[in-house]
Chain A
């Protein structure tokens, strides 16, 4: 069966520190992968999506970057975190037009 793993679940990082969040998918090949950010009590903002290895599209310019080094691996990174990067980050695997399967999310607090 298809599953998606996202870690860590929570993360507290100081301002200026680097970030690496990882997402992996099992049970499928060549998935469309997505990173979303959700501010407290708000909807989802699409940050990046990828349709294949090394292919990254950015929806919103910001302090973050994404990479897809392997078919089923999607990484969200930052070289220097800002306070405004705090939020709930969700990785998702897109099943064509039939919807998303979401990871369990990472709560990032930048202090």
Chain B
């Protein structure tokens, strides 16, 4: 069964606003990662958060992890048109393969 599930499936915001995407998963994990995919391209690794961490920052990205709720959120602050892409969460339990969610399509309107 699908491990990671992002919501919303699609999100449209105005440039300058913040975008929040959520990911829920079902089993224990060692870490959770967020990836970005521009249309028709490969995925690019954005940020990794380990199961013993609660929050990480990277530039305009902020990721939180709540292992008790089995959920994570990705916040993009001060969004730009160039942030338009699909965003995927992926979870891993060591010894197994990563499992990707279906993604959130983010549209940032100028």
**Chain A residues within 8 Å of B, Cβ to Cβ:** 6, 34, 36, 41-44, 46, 49, 59, 88, 90, 92, 94, 97-105, 107
Contact = CB atoms under 8 A, between A and B. Distances in A.
B48 A43 contact: no
A6 B103 CA distance: 23
A69 B97 CA distance: 22
Contacts of B101: 43
Interface residues of B, number: 23
A92 B100 CA distance: 13
B45 to A, nearest CB: 5
Interface stretch (B36-44, B53-61, B73-81): B36-44
Nearest to A6: B42
A44 B42 contact: no
Given A42-B102, A46-B97, A98 B40 contact: no
B41 to A, nearest CB: 6
B88 A97 contact: no
A100 B102 contact: no
Contacts of B105: 41
A100 B88 contact: no
A23 to B, nearest CB: 11
